[in-house]
Amino acid sequence: MRWALVKVSLAVTTMVVLAFAVPLGLVIREMARDRAFSNAEREAAAVAPALSITTDRDQLERVVASAGSDAGMAVHIPAGDGQRALELGRQRAADQDIAAVRKLGRASTTGVPGGSTLLQPVALSTGEIAVVEVYVPESEVTNGVGTAWAVLAGVGIALVVGSVAVADRLGVRMVLPARRLVEGAHELGEGKLGARVPEEGPSELRLAAVAFNSMADQVVQLLANERELAADLSHRLRTPLTVLRLNTASLGEGPAAEQTRTAVEQLEREVDTIIRTAREAKPQTAAAGPGAGCDAAEVVRERMAFWSALAEDEGRKWRVAGADRPVRIPVARADLAAALDALLGNVFRHTPEGTAFAVDVHNAEDAVIVLVSDAGPGIPDPEAAMARGRGSGSDGSTGLGLDIVRRLAESTGGDVRIGSSVLGGTEVRIWIQLDGRAPSGGGHRQLRRRRRGRPTAAFKRS
């Protein structure tokens, strides 16, 4: 498009310049010719009064000399009344041309070697017709024409170059937004859902950019809804399955009970596989915008209300700390609920009945820390457990729960760590960064100081 505009501007401007410059150049040449012959007519007119009074050679020579053009002027006086013909100056015109002017009685011009001559008839006192010949060299006819043509050519070239430059700038103004629109479409096609196009340029391209950005926002929203659905699916399916698996432990022995437990385990494995596939196939969406997120304290209270019923059945003590006031985090409600259900499900799945557990919420200046701890046997190799959480499941563990938690924390710039809890078992710490920066060592030390100075909430038995 850019080069097309340049070519069109070049062609149009060139035609306009030629349409004006060529006639103007011809007019300038004619004006120079008219100026030269007008000067010649004035010189001839200066001699005419003297010819009408006298035909004396000496007097006429003085008049011609006073005109300042004796080298280019000639006077042809015919014979008459006993007077001989008189010729002053150098004759350049042909005799027949002089005779024709004398006969017709009007001025004319004729070409001679090196230029032209003006033949001006003048009536004498004797009634005869004298002819004044004024030589006009070619240099006078073309005087200033070359300079004028050069100026016209320079102006024309400047106009063409200027129009090409303006067309090029206009082309850039049109092409650059179009190029950005193409680049944005490529980035969106490659899965970069944060790609947006500046809404600038001509009105048509601005409308196209607005439509593209609206489409990209809609795609991000659809994928965010898909992510919410996947998280909700993991919440709705894995939690009841955990309860069901724990309840099958009370069925006793026998073929029917064993078949039920086997079926529940098989169903749980299939559900884990489906959820993992859905999460891995999901493209990464753009970061949540301002105002997005949920109240972590409210979600913790809600999920603990659910798990407390099962804890009562198994005789587990539990406690919640730090969830008595709102704690806003940049995480979707369904994602946080899925992460808590995954960790609490692991507590019920991998610790004996009667094992106590706790959930703590710490609200720092730039981060929110959620701690899920238990009084179980602990995890011998935390690094291996985190490796399973990154997709390398082994030892009968799928690692899906830690994978859900890890994705939640890393989406905010935080992380997940596994360590020993104050209850004697495992502690999973979820660091949720509030400003998107990576967690610093100073933040971890501040968390440890707060934990040492904070009173422990009383355990509950529902």
Residues 329 and 411 in one domain: yes
The yes-or-no verdict on residue 450 having pLDDT over 50 is no
Smallest CA-to-CA distance from 116 within 106, 108, 125 is with 108
Residues 257 and 305 in one domain: no
The yes-or-no verdict on residue 261 having pLDDT over 90 is no
Residues 59 and 123 in one domain: yes
Total-model pTM = 0.45
Give the confidence band of 56 by pLDDT, cuts at 50, 70, 90: confident
Residue 409 lies in a domain: yes
Mean per-residue pLDDT for 18-42?
86
Smallest CA-to-CA distance from 47 within 58, 59, 62, 63 is with 63
Mean per-residue pLDDT for 286-295?
56
Mean pLDDT of the chain: 79
Of the residues 286, 315, 341, the one at which a domain ends = 286
CATH of the domain at 313: 3.30.565.10
pLDDT of residue 43: 81
Better pLDDT: 20 or 256: 20
pLDDT of residue 287: 42
The yes-or-no verdict on residue 217 having pLDDT over 90 is no
Burial class of residue 314 in the structure, from the number of CB atoms within 10 Å of its CB (0-12 exposed, 13-18 middle, 19+ buried): middle
Residues 298 and 271 in one domain: no
Lowest mean pLDDT among 134-143, 355-364, 434-443: 434-443
Residue 81 lies in a domain: yes
Lowest mean pLDDT among 80-84, 180-184, 397-401: 397-401
- Whether residue 267 contacts residue 260, with contact meaning beta carbons closer than 8 Å, is answered with no
Mean per-residue pLDDT for 145-160?
88
408: Cβ contacts below 8 Å, ≥ 6 apart: 331, 335, 336, 338, 339, 430, 432
**Tens digit of pLDDT for each residue in 316-339?**
999 999 999 999 998 888 888 888
Residues 326 and 380 in one domain: yes
Residues 259 and 346 in one domain: no
CA 282 to chain CA mean position, Å: 29
Residues 141 and 19 in one domain: yes
pLDDT of residue 394: 42
Residues 373 and 301 in one domain: yes
Residue 29 lies in a domain: yes
Of the residues 101, 127, 145, the one at which a domain ends = 145
Residues 351 and 264 in one domain: no
Smallest CA-to-CA distance from 318 within 339, 343, 288 is with 343
Residue 119 lies in a domain: yes
Of the residues 286, 308, 324, the one at which a domain ends = 286
Residues 370 and 296 in one domain: yes
Residues 35 and 75 in one domain: yes
Residues 300 and 243 in one domain: no
Q: Domain of 303?
A: 292-462
CATH of the domain at 112: 3.30.450.20
Q: How many domains does the chain have?
A: 3
